[in-house]
Amino acid sequence: MDWTEAEIKQTVQGYKDYFEFAFRNVAMHQAAVRMGLDKKFTLAKRRSKWRANEAVWDEAANYSSRSAFQRGAPGAYMAAKTRGFLDDIFPGTAQQSWSNDLRVLFEATKYPNRAAFAIGRPGAYRAALRRGLLDLMVFDEKITNNP
């Protein structure tokens, strides 16, 4: 669909900021970009209420866990994560990383078979699958209860 510059300008004015326009009216936003109007109609810079670290810390104090914080205040969570103090807010709750092949292989030894490993540690299983480690794994059939 072809829009004129005036139509796009009028539509942009109906949104609280340009970012909302881009998100809610994708087709017209793409047309504005093609016409080179995307920078011309910027109404306001996106201002985050999480600019100050103190605000992030204050918001995090309302949550008892990292996952609750992520669900309840995703903007504050991302601010804390990108600024590197998320582990300081919730110490000891860092999510496990399966970036080390030895950790993945060692974790697999705690399970009797692949199926139990996939159910018990889906993240480690996906990492093993992605890196081709499943054929290297040795499972102990004698294990009956998972950790």
pLDDT tens profile 72-99: 888 889 889 888 888 888 887 556 678 8
Q: 108-116: list long-range contacts, CB under 8 Å, 24+ apart.
A: 108/137, 108/138, 108/139, 109/137, 109/138, 109/139, 109/140, 110/143, 110/146, 110/147, 111/139, 111/140, 111/143, 111/146, 112/139, 112/140, 112/141, 112/142, 112/143, 112/144, 113/139, 113/141, 114/139, 116/146
Provide mean pLDDT across the span 116-135: 91
Q: What is the pTM of this model?
A: 0.40
Are the CB atoms for 110 and 147 separated by under 8 Å?
A: yes
Q: What is the pLDDT of residue 58?
A: 92
Segments making up each domain of the chain, as ranges: 1-47, 53-89, 96-147
Provide mean pLDDT across the span 121-127: 91
- Whether residue 41 has pLDDT greater than 70: no
Q: What is the pLDDT of residue 130?
A: 92
Q: Give the pLDDT band of residue 44 (cuts 50, 70, 90).
A: very low
